[in-house]
Structure 1
Amino acid sequence: MAVEKIDTLIIGAGQAGIATSEHLTKLNIPHLVLERNRIAECWRTMRWDSLVANGPAWHDRFPGLEFEDLDQDAFAPKERVADYFVDYAKKFKAPIRTGIEVTKATRNTNRPGFTVETSDGVIEANRIVSATGPFQKPVIPPIAPKTDKIEQIHSAQYRNPKQLPEGAVLVVGAGSSGVQIADELQNSGKKVYLSVGAHDRPPRAYRNRDFCWWLGVLGEWDAAAMKPGTEHVTIAVSGANGGHTVDFRGLAHKGMTLVGLTKAFDGDKVSFQNDLATNLAKGDENYLALLDAADEYIKQNGLDLPEEPEARFTFPEPDCVTNPVLELDLAEAGVTSIIWATGFATDYSWLQVDALDDKGKPQHQRGVSSEPGVYFVGLPWLSRRGSTFIWGVWHDAKHIADHIATQHKYLEYKAPSQR
């Protein structure tokens, strides 16, 4: 069977793979995109039913195509986001093959390029772009109880309240996914316990501008690295129900029980760190700091934006904060299910080249790997804070495509004696 050959092979047809393909197309670089499922599959099947984009339509898109059927300040439903990427790929006739899984990629010996084994045969490529993203393997921490008495699922498996058994729910993790799921469950009538760790809590909007706009004009999207000590800080923001600022105390006053970071399980009992008040206070600091920066920006630039004093309103401390729950008997509390909103891990077991560190994480500079000819796109903080967002992926992909084009130019060089 003949071995197919291509200049650049892109693994993954989500937002990162499609963006990279667009830029390579513009640069006339021959390439192929392989996707083991459908285009943008994670948006369709690894998200809950009611999910919408966390940024407004004017912001969470590529430069070359708008969400023409949506108000530009609306938040696109997940299926609409997936369809957007399908439409975008059609727009420039992206060379995408779906239903093909890459199982192994190795560097060739004594000749350039890589040999890539797939479920549809072998492909040889001069370069490989990993565009598989950060949401590859749902992570449930080892503290999870080993019991069949409680239904346990990861947030990637959650779809809607009806899939859960009767009874209360413990949601572990209060980033964007955890808090939105907890809010939906509470609105459905369930008793909810939400385990809240360290988090940033930006306003959804302030003084008639979305927080995505504020991060842009304040230069925060271009931050090149996390601030020290924030590696485990998640972000709590929501576009649900038209978009609203996440307010943990407000959720508590509606009946949700907030608890600190989940510490351990012992039989039917779960213990929590005594850090809830501290976590909420630090989230408040983050929230107020952005309001202060926005106010200063408006003053310095003479902008005519409406005052919003109510944005600084704070609910009284609920009982679950002043008298924190440090241990909970799940059976007595009627908890019948746990949702682990505890994030994802990457899986590069297929990439058998010297591009990963001893923990299996990519070694790269702005997506250019330590292994020549291997690239990464679509990872958090690949080049800056905005790298995880759709528009940020597009710009990161352009950098990678330009790097590949530059390598082409070097390889095309001929010495005077060869001309």
Structure 2
Amino acid sequence: MTQNEKNIPVVIVGGGQAGLSMSWYLCNEHVEHIIFEARTACHSWEDERWDNFCLVTPNWQCELPGHPYKGKDPHGFMMKQEIIDYVRGFVNSFSPPLREHMAVTSITRHEAGGYRVVAADEVWHAQHVVIASGAYHDAVIPGYASAIDSAIFQLHSQDYRNASQLPEGAVLVVGSGQSGAQIVEDLFLEKRKVHLCVGSAPRVSRFYRGRDIVDWLADMRFYDLTVDNHPLRDGARDKTNHYVTGRNGGHDLDLRLFAKDGVSLHGTLETIRDEVADFRPDLKINLDDADKTNADIKKSIDAYIAREGLSAPTETPYVPVWEPDGSNTPLDLKAAGITSIIWCIGFRPDYHWIDVPVFNGANKPIWHRGVTDAPGFYFLGLPWLHTWGSGRFSGVSRDAAWLASQITGKDVPVA
């Protein structure tokens, strides 16, 4: 043991909703622990979301342990500041042993068993370590972006705040997942000319047959489906989230409707060279596939309604309001008046600071329900760690309770 090394049963890395949920259960079980957070508990919500950001899942799904949503609008969608207030309220509800602005820089196996954790200038010896730092660490921006003329302003979706942040002119949004589709709407409502590179992200309607689709899926027990029972198994973790929005009470995000109203849609971006963007000829395929996913979800709801003998209003089938003309012309950014590019193509995890044999050849952590093959080493808060809600307010409590039971060796009921 090194000089000044401190002992503690459990170290939690990451003080967001996952790490805080883990702490809540450990506090209830009187297990001594500490949470190291590189920034602040609300950092991702405060500093990596645009001004008009809101949840895409209804408020009633916000179920952090001991801290369910208690507002007046359970079927509404919390805006950015409301989310921040909700998380801060959770912190204040039980005063966790949270150390903010303390980044963990190294985790190795300890010669005496357990793990050696280095945070700032402190060294800790822990028998259990819970990695709750998420999977969204390094913003993805393609290498060729550095060769684009510096006169064109570039930023990643995590740095976008509002339209006034961008120079006057048209905007190229790359990526049509949740962030890309919602940012397009944000810009469109500010009357900015927008070009969108449409990828393979699926879409889902906000409401169907008189209810939010989330309500239907909850009744159908979709949110109880475990990754082990998912048709894609582990592949579910690599699927892009469906685009939809909770803005202004919630509604569909139909890219075809955006196109009809003036947004220019293109296929998947291949590259940008000499300020000319080239696209794959897949725009129609991507739009059709997104619509098919939405239609399949509706069919599953129809089948459930029929099977259960429920009464619900009927709806006419969706009819596309716009079709691409089949052209795949390269886009000259300057000729199109594009002065900004927003990269909405996701993040890469970064676990370089963990020197513990819990990764596969692609440097992805391997676990079952968050438990790794390394004794006392766990992951929490990752997409489909156990269920769809594992990385969200709706399911992280269940996962945290399970991992708490692994640490204490006794059953820990879900709050």
Corresponding residue for residue 412 of structure 1: none
Aligned equivalents of 2:248 and 2:139: distance in 1? 26
Which amino acid in the other structure matches residue 97 of structure 1?
A: R
Equivalent AA in structure 2 for residue 86 of structure 1: R
Report how far residue 65 of structure 1 moved. Answer: 2.3
| Partners of 2:46 and 2:84 within 8 A in 1 | yes
Within 2, Cα distance between the matches of 1:366 and 1:21? 18
Counterpart of 2:269 in structure 1 is 262
1:126-205 aligned at under 5 Å gives the runs: 126-144=127-145, 146-147=147-148, 148-205=150-207
Confirm or deny that 1:304 pairs with 2:311. Answer: yes
Secondary structure in structure 1 of the residue aligned to 2:395? helix
1:16 and 2:11 are equivalent in the alignment: no
Partner of 1:342, secondary structure, is coil
Q: Which residue in 1 is equivalent to 2:299?
A: 292
- Give the unaligned 5+ runs of structure 1: 409-419
The answer on 1:282 being equivalent to 2:289 is yes
Maintained 8 Å contact 2:171/2:339: yes
C-alpha displacement of 1:348: 1.2
Please provide the CA RMSD for this pair. Answer: 1.9
Moved more, 217-226 or 341-350: 217-226
Correspondence for 1:415? none
Which has the larger displacement, 289-298 or 335-344?
A: 289-298
For 1:404 and 1:10, the matched residues in 2 are separated by: 12
Equivalent pair of 2:21/2:65 in contact (CA under 8 Å):
no
**In structure 1, what is the equivalent of residue 341 of structure 2?**
338
Q: Distance in 2 between matches of 1:192 and 1:218?
A: 38
What corresponds to 2:7 in structure 1? 5
Q: Which amino acid aligns with 1:113?
A: G
1:97 to 94, 99, 104: 99
Task: State the distance in 1 between where 2:121 and 2:41 align.
Answer: 17
Per the TM alignment, residue 31 of structure 1 is displaced from its structure 2 partner at its CA by 1.2
Secondary structure class of the residue paired with 2:319: coil
CA distance in structure 2 between the aligned counterparts of 1:32 and 1:9, rounded to whole angstroms: 5
Letter in 2 for 1:166: E
Match of 1:359 among 334, 357, 362: 362
Aligned CA distance change for structure 1 residues 272 and 206 (closer, same or farther; 3 Å): same
Kept in 2, the 8 Å contact 1:54–1:238? The answer is yes
Q: Distance in 1 between matches of 2:71 and 2:384?
A: 31
1:377 to 377, 380, 388: 380
Q: Is the deviation greater in 229-238 or in 249-258?
A: 229-238
Counterpart of 1:252? 259
1:347 maps onto 2:350 in alignment:
yes
Aligned counterparts of 2:315 and 2:9: Cα–Cα separation in 1: 54
Q: 1:87 — aligned with what?
A: 89
1:316 is aligned with what amino acid?
Answer: V
Identity of aligned residues (%): 36
Among 382, 390, 403, the residue aligned to 1:387: 390
Which residue, 43, 46, 49 being the options, matches 1:44?
46
The alpha carbon displacement at 1:261 in A equals: 0.5
Q: Is the 8 A contact 2:62 2:69 kept in 1?
A: no
Q: Give the 3-state SS of the residue equivalent to 1:249 in structure 2.
A: helix
Runs of 4+ in 1 over 6 A off after TM superposition: none
Match of 2:403 among 377, 400, 405: 400
Query: 2 CA distance for matches of 1:145 and 1:92?
Result: 46
Call closer, same or farther: CA 1:121–1:407 in 2, change over 3 Å.
farther
Q: How many correspondences in the alignment? A: 403
What residue identity is the alignment partner of 2:164? K
Shift of 1:67: 3.2
Contact 1:141 1:342 in 2 (8 A): no
TM-aligned CA deviation for residue 391 of structure 1: 1.6
CA distance in 2, matches of 1:206, 1:60: 22
Report if aligned partners of 2:271, 2:278 keep a CA contact under 8 Å in 1.
yes
Deviation at 1:232, TM superposition (A): 5.0
Worse-superposed segment, 49-58 or 397-406 = 397-406
Gaps of 5+ in 2: none
In structure 2, what residue type is equivalent to 1:359?
Answer: A
Normalised to the residue count of structure 1, the TM-score between the two structures is 0.91
CA distance in 2 between counterparts of 1:5 and 1:27 reads 19
Q: Secondary structure at the match of 2:86?
A: helix
Q: Secondary structure at the match of 1:112?
A: coil
CA distance in 2, matches of 1:294, 1:64: 31
Change (3 A) 1:226 1:256: farther
Paired letter, 1:267: D
Residues 175-196 of structure 1: per-residue CA shift (max 9 Å, x gap)? 1100000111111111101111
Q: Distance in 2 between matches of 1:34 and 1:337?
A: 37
Per-residue Cα deviation, 1:197-242 (whole angstroms, up to 9, x for no partner): 1122111121232222222223333141463887454421211121
For residues 357-378 of structure 1, give each alpha carbon's deviation from its aligned partner in whole angstroms, at most 9, with x where no partner exists. Answer: 2322112111111222210001
Residues of 1 paired with 2:116 and 2:76: CA distance? 44
Q: Secondary structure at the match of 1:200?
A: coil
TM-score, scaled relative to structure 2: 0.92
**2:322 maps to which residue?**
317
Kindly state the Cα deviation for residue 145 of structure 1 after the two structures are TM-superposed. Answer: 5.1
* AA in 1 matched with 2:143: P
